[in-house]
Amino acid sequence: MEKTVGEIAQRQFWSVAPDDTVEAIAQEMVARHRTWTPVLEGGTLMGVVSAWDLLHMRASGLAGDTPAWRACTYKPLTVPPETPVSEAARLMRQAHVHHLLVMTLDRKIVGIVSPLDLLVEQAGPPVD
């Protein structure tokens, strides 16, 4: 039986608040080697900020003290925990996204799935 995204999702993840500045987020992305992070308000998803969003902000001439809520992508692609891994891979490929938020019906994030998570699942257990 195929695993679900709820079974393979990364449960611990870094997130930012709506009022965090894009400059602080960019510095933290570099320090954490990340290109993307959810924007949460009281534990509920508001959007995501990606390196692309930050690049767009810089190109638009907006200052580094711009808050995350002004820079984030609203309505990112999300899936429920029971989504099969193969469906998650198809959705990511079709939408050209590099991460999926795994969310409950009440919009609480339970994890994040990356392409590496999908590769690890596809590869199976390590061979001794």
Residue 38 pLDDT: 92
Residue 71 pLDDT: 81
User: In which residue are the tokens 């709506």 written?
Assistant: 18
The model's pTM = 0.79
Residue 126 pLDDT: 63
Contacts of 18 (CB under 8 A, 6+ apart): 39, 41, 46, 67, 68, 69, 72
Residue 51 pLDDT: 85
Mean pLDDT by 10 residues, the chain (128 residues): 87 90 90 89 86 82 80 86 92 88 87 85 67
Residue 16 pLDDT: 93
Question: What is the amino acid identity at position 113?
Answer: V
Q: Which domains does the chain have, with CATH numbers?
A: 5-122 (3.10.580.10)
Residue 125 pLDDT: 64
β-strand partners of 103: 109
